[in-house]
Structures are given as structure tokens and as C-alpha cells.
A and B are shown apart, each in its own frame.
Chain A
Amino acid sequence: MIPQPFDYYAPATLREALAMIASGEHKILAGGMSLVPLMKLRLALPEHVVDLGRIPELNYIAESGGVLRIGAMSTHHDIESSAAVRAHCPLLAEAAGHIGDAQVRNMGTIGGSIAHADPSADYPAALLALETKIRIVSANSDRTIDAAEFFVDAFTTALEPGEIVLELQAPVEDQGEGYCYEKVPHPASGFAVVGVAVRVKKAGGKIAMARIGITGMGPRPFRDSMAEKMLESGTEIGQATQSIGQGEEANSDLYASGDYRRHLARVHAARALRTALTRAS
């Protein structure tokens, strides 16, 4: 038993859940893979916990009109093993397979992960490279924003009190696109010291389109549009990746300094791009 008592609610519908959390005083429990450890450490001491685990309408993966829609309560395992994700956004399936371990992937959810916004989480790199949109709802609002606007800072998102992540909307990757998620895992925790997600399209032997999302390096994930433009205008990979992370804040800790993280981002972006190109047709 953990020390802090709390009230537990398990609504059966989204409407019920949104009404419960409208006051903004409730902590939302999705898969619990971040929240439960934080509660055990007393870093989170919520008095009211609303469990979204019994709302079937939040758990789906479906493609329609060129957009892959993923319900917030889809687990990492659902995403990693979903035929629809593997066919339409294989980059996301690849990133999901790198999260934690099998038990964590069975419980942890994509909505919970992004709402927690751990700067070392794997998904954000892929979501940025995929130009994903995130639909956010509350009892009286419904808005859809770009992933780039969603991640504000370490453990800080654009979510307002009373709001939850409802759905992720990723444009379907074109046939023939190459993709790759490259990660430097922390040897103890498995979290991304740096993670790089890339997508490329080839045309006439050149890179016609490049998308690069980076997680772990700084307090928030980012897309490197300068490197993307350099690649699209014919700069070779080694040179184009040299500027990655320039001007972006980088985290330092006992394991890796900010400069080393920036270096890793550049090296692994180049590797990811080369792998992605071999997968592109």
C-alpha cells in the first residue's frame, strides 16, 4: 500500500469522465506507467484519481481519409502490433517498440505518455516527424493542435485543467517513404538519452522530402526544419546533420552533458537518415 490515500473514480464513458475532471482538481490515470511510480515516490500526491481505463471509446486505431486516428488509451503494445499502424505509419510502430519493456508496453498508453511529456520519451520524436495533430477535449471544448504546439517544456504540455487528449491524428505515410527511429537508450532506465525519428522520400536519386524529430536532447522535443531544408536542397547527410540542435536548449545530467547529447543527436540523425534511405523506394 502506498502512503497517500486517494479517492478513485472509474467512469464508463467519456462524457462522465469529462464532467468529473472539469474542476481541474483530478489527476488522470491512463496506463499508470508514469503516474503510479510518481505516486509511490510521493512526487505526485493526488487526492482524486480518475481512471480512464474503463472507457472503451478511447481505445481504437483506425485509418480514414488518409489519416490514421489513434485513441488516447491505445497501449504501446496496441500501436506496435497494429496492422493499421504498421501499414500507414510504420515509424510510429517502430518508436512504440522501443518504449520500456513488454510489461510497460502492455499497460502504458500513448495519450498518457504524451500528456506526461517526459523529455526522454520516445513517441514525441515520431509524432513530430509524422506531423501529427492532437485532438484535445474538455466538458465544453474540443480543439485540435499540432504536436509541435502540444509539447511546451519538460513535463509541460498545452493541456489546460479539465482537458484530456482524445485522439492522435497522423497523416498516412506515402508508399515508398523511408523511415527510421534511432535511439540511444539509457543503460539503466532504457529511456532515450537521445532519440531521432526521420522520414524521407526519394525522387531521382535525391531526397525530395525529409522530416526529422528529436527527443531526449533538450527539455522538449523538436523538429529540425533547417536540416530538413538542407537535405531537400541536395546537401549531403553528413553536412546537413552538423547543424542539428543548434540554438536548442540541451539537458545535462550525470550520464550525458548537453554537448554530448547534441553530438549524439547529430550522429544518430545521420544514421537514421541513411537507414531510412535504404528503406525508401
Chain B
Amino acid sequence: MKRTISLTINGKTYTDEVEPRLLLIHYLREVAGLTGPHIGCETSICGACTVLVGGKTVKSCTMFAVQADGRELTTIEGVAAADGKLDPVQEAFWNEHGLQCGFCTPGMVLSVKHLLAANPNPTDQEIRHGLDGNLCRCTGYQHIVNAVKAAAAGKGGV
């Protein structure tokens, strides 16, 4: 039995009829047309599908679209400013070479935003703990940790 859901993604309201068995990641990519969140493992391990729901990171492959009814979501498409100016976290990933192939980056960036919102000056250990749910097969993580520290430093005083 289909249900109508209405949710806000990156400030825009979406209303659609969905089957309860539709996963949120499939809704985002195939119904809403937002292909920024990636499907990596689809087993809630890799974190490539990470989006913000109500300001908190979740793995959108492990949530049904119906559970997001009425909620506010942010995907990677909603992180940069409308004029295309990158968010400081994105800027830091660029400057510090925090990515190679880029597949994990949409999830990484949202996890970093969530981490820095709660802890604006994390230690290396706190960064690694905070990004435990996001796998990267290219960088060996060191450049990602550097990028988080650069983003945190750039945010000083904000």
C-alpha cells in the first residue's frame, strides 16, 4: 500500500507517493533525482549514502523513505551556497586533497559538518572516531583528517 510522504530536502519540499519498502537512498536518487548521496555497500557500513535528517547524520540505505516523512534533510547538493560557493568543509577537502576518486566524499563532507557542529575543535582521535562510519579506499584517511583540521581552523571565531 503506497503512502504519501512530504519532506524538505535542501530547503525544497517534495511530496511523493512511495511504497513503504522504498529505502531513503533510492528515494533520494531515483525519485527526487539527487544523485549526490552514493550507494556503496548498501549494508550500513560504508557511509557513502550519509545525509542529514533533522541535522543528524544517518545512513540513508538503512532507513525507509516513509520514516523521513515530515523531516528536514540535507544532501551534499545542499551544502554549497546557491551561487556555487563551496562550504568551508568542501573547500578544505579540496585544498588538503581529502579525496581521490570522490565516491565517499558526499558522505564524508556531511559527517564532518555534523562532527564540527558538535565539536568545533576536535582532536585527531575525535576526528577519526567521528568518521568511523565513513569508509574511504583511496586516501588512507590522513588527508581527510588534515582537511577536517583545516576546516576547523578556518572556522575559528565563527
Contacts and interface: CB of A to CB of B under 8 A. Distances in A.
A1 B21 contact: yes
B74 interface: no
A107 interface: yes
Nearest to A4: B21
B23 A103 contact: no
Interface residues of A, number: 28
A12 to B, nearest CB: 11
B17 to A, nearest CB: 13
Contacts of B26: 1
B57 A32 contact: no
Interface in B99-125: 111, 114-115, 118
A37 B133 CA distance: 15
A51 B67 contact: yes
Nearest to B57: A103
Nearest to B66: A8
A33 interface: yes
B136 interface: no
6 contacts: A6-B20, A8-B20, A33-B62, A101-B133, A102-B132, A103-B111
A40 B63 CA distance: 11
* Interface SS majority for chain A: mixed
A77 B117 CA distance: 14
A60 B66 CA distance: 23
Contact of A10 (B19, B69, B132): B69
A130 to B, nearest CB: 24
B149 interface: no
Given A1-B26, A7-B20, A37 B114 contact: no
A103 B69 CA distance: 19
Interface string B32-60: 00000000001110010010000011110
A11 interface: no
In the A-B complex, list the 4 residue pairs whose CB atoms are closest, starting with the nearest: A101-B133, A8-B20, A101-B132, A106-B56
Interface in B1-42: 1, 3, 19-23, 26, 42
Q: In this complex, which of B21, B26, B111 has the most chain A Cβ atoms within 10 angstroms of its Cβ?
A: B21
Interface string B55-82: 0111100111011010000000000000
Contacts of B118: 81
A106 B63 CA distance: 12
A100 B133 contact: yes
A158 interface: no
Given A32-B67, A37-B44, A106 B20 contact: no
B44 A104 contact: yes
A107 B21 contact: no
A1 B66 contact: no
Nearest to A9: B20
Nearest to A51: B67
A107 B62 contact: yes
Given A7-B1, A40-B42, A102-B111, A2 B58 contact: no
Q: In this complex, which of A102, A103, A104 has the most chain B Cβ atoms within 10 angstroms of its Cβ?
A: A103
